[in-house]
A and B are shown apart, each in its own frame.
Chain A
């Protein structure tokens, strides 16, 4: 007997079903690690650091393996690669062994077709996943009504680009015209719609409507609706000289609290000598001197400015209706306008199409693979008992 060559042995090992099982078990293990340990990209760095300080032993073991970013770690990528190669070789080997296309004829052909389609879909899924992780662009933009944005690399927030993606951008101008939110019971948003305008250098103006769950695609970039909030326009003047120090919109953070949304932020303006916090009440009522929010629609807005001066240990608070003014320390604040801001996720993902095809193909293949088993179950007649299996008397 002739001894088998090394490539042949390697090919056998790579195409073995036992290897596939080991790889699936490893994937389960990595996924559990990813679900249990705090992961970069999903949690803030400071939260991860706090967790690591509280669990020093686990951290010292897990950090060298890259388990705090497990789905981008080398052990995970290698596992996926081996599983991909294993699936490919196993499918090819079986395809050749079973007489290539002639295996799709005769008894058991549906099962075989299911088996091959399932493995083909897995290979396509790996390819799509690879394309996504290497060529995808994902970023955020935040626009206040009326604000424009130029689609350039530097203008995006939280931009993530795959290493194989080219730096090319459309340079299109995007303008947020209007944000409309419909509320139920004055509190729960049931519809969020953003009207946008898109224009490239030579192209005509394109209007786009984006709703939650209904993205808009412009030149391959998919815009999806994200959070919304309020941008009050503040004018700040110096009390003595009356000089305008600031005149702009400020996109306030939106906090979800058990009593509803809170729109609040600090004024981090370098010229301010004290700490100022701004809160917007879209609609309000005053009861016993206390301001209470009555709804999320900006029908009757109020701006609250809170000042704290830790050095001189002083604090003050003032409420401004729309168009109102208030004097605090050495500044005069004017609340002149209230608009909404809207955030969008901008994604370009060349891997989605192969993944989508793989998912549907995989579903079809699963059905083909297991339909004969299930068919047998449904056509077989029940035994004398109430179960197809033998039942003891």
Chain B
């Protein structure tokens, strides 16, 4: 099963890379005909991606949500799904795939570098709240990634107004609005993720917030996007300022998902209930009361 999963994984990556290459080729040559091929390749990638996730699920005996490889696999699946569904509904432009596709295969590549053999799901993860927490975390990531794509295209269009290929992407107002709407969607999903995480933490540790590094970075991301929505509403920061904030927000988001250990004195990633191992019980800690045999 693991062999099948690996083959399916690389086929998925190949499809996404191929979609990106075809897209870049068509974009530079200012051809719209290649876009259909790009969408077909992305759909094919999505089918293979689903098969990879299912193969992993079957091998591990649980949903692929425990280690970095599994999380990246699931997260990118949600990102591509959101993009394809909204594209199908004609709510976003295909050109945003130019930014979203490389994000997807880079995240997949990062995951496969940390791939490990599937292990049974630990006791801490056996909670219905985990499902809610993870699904909404990745839904928010997908929305923010698409908003980031729109912002990058906005900035490119704004910076090189005379470049012929860039004039074929939607106008700046359309990109700005698309970015804002995906940030709103992502923000709501991120809020659900935080709430479900707090409830899960309460059941697992007894307290809903413990200021561990991952929690803090999630909060920073949430506050950052709250700041974005606030300045947009009250100070009218739109267009270029809004696009730069979206790009910066995505950097913060990426840190909260993968870069926590780079900025933290605690080197290990993850919530700290996985980390607390050795120094929790000392024999001197055992209360001095009678042991009844």
A residues with a Cβ closer than 8 A to B are: 17-18, 20-21, 24-25, 27-28, 31-32, 34-39, 41-44, 47, 51, 71, 132, 136, 138, 140-142, 144, 146-150, 155, 157, 175, 184-185, 188-192, 211-215, 222-224, 226-227, 229, 248-256, 265, 268, 341, 343, 345-347, 349, 352, 355-356, 359-360, 362-363, 366-367, 370, 373-374, 377-378, 382, 385-392
Contact = CB atoms under 8 A, between A and B. Distances in A.
Contacts of A192: 123
B207 A349 contact: yes
7 contacts: A31-B216, A190-B122, A212-B204, A213-B200, A214-B203, A227-B276, A390-B170
Contacts of A191: 123, 126
B91 interface: yes
A251 B204 CA distance: 23
Contacts of B119: 188
Nearest to A182: B123
Interface in B198-245: 198-200, 202-208, 211-213, 216-217, 219-220, 223-224, 226-227, 230-231, 234-235
Interface residues of B, number: 83
Nearest to A20: B230
A16 B216 CA distance: 27
Nearest to B264: A35
| Chain A interface, DSSP helix/strand/loop, else mixed | mixed
B123 to A, nearest CB: 4
B178 A35 contact: no
Nearest to A212: B123
A253 B219 contact: no
B208 to A, nearest CB: 6
A256 B277 contact: yes
A370 B283 contact: no
B174 interface: yes
| Residue among A17, A25, A35, A136 with the highest chain B CB neighbour number at 10 A | A35
Contacts of B283: 250-252, 265, 268
Given A190-B123, A366-B188, A389-B174, A35 B281 contact: no
Interface in B165-207: 167-171, 173-175, 177-178, 181, 184-185, 187-188, 191-192, 194-195, 198-200, 202-207
Contacts of B264: 35-36
Contact of A44 (B93, B198, B205, B279): B279
Interface in B258-279: 260, 263-266, 272, 276-279
A256 B123 contact: no
A80 to B, nearest CB: 12
B33 interface: no
B121 interface: yes
B174 A363 contact: no
Contact of B280 (A51, A211, A227): A227
B113 interface: no
B220 A190 contact: no
A149 B205 CA distance: 20
Contact of B266 (A43, A144, A392): A43
A128 to B, nearest CB: 9
B3 interface: no
B216 to A, nearest CB: 4
A392 to B, nearest CB: 5
B227 A28 contact: yes
Nearest to B223: A28
B192 A363 contact: yes
A215 B202 CA distance: 9
Contacts of B279: 44, 253
A170 B88 CA distance: 61
Given A36-B265, A213-B126, 7 more contacts: A28-B223, A35-B220, A190-B121, A253-B278, A366-B188, A370-B184, A387-B93
Contacts of B199: 356
B213 A35 contact: yes
Contacts of A211: 123
B45 to A, nearest CB: 19
Nearest to A376: B181
B291 A374 contact: no
Given A362-B191, A389-B177, A39 B278 contact: no
Interface string B277-292: 1111111111101111
Contact of A224 (B181, B205, B220): B205
Contact of B171 (A229, A349, A377, A391): A391
B170 A43 contact: no
Given A42-B211, A253-B279, A363-B191, A224 B292 contact: no
A339 to B, nearest CB: 9
B195 A360 contact: yes
A132 B202 CA distance: 13
Given A222-B206, A224-B206, A385 B291 contact: no
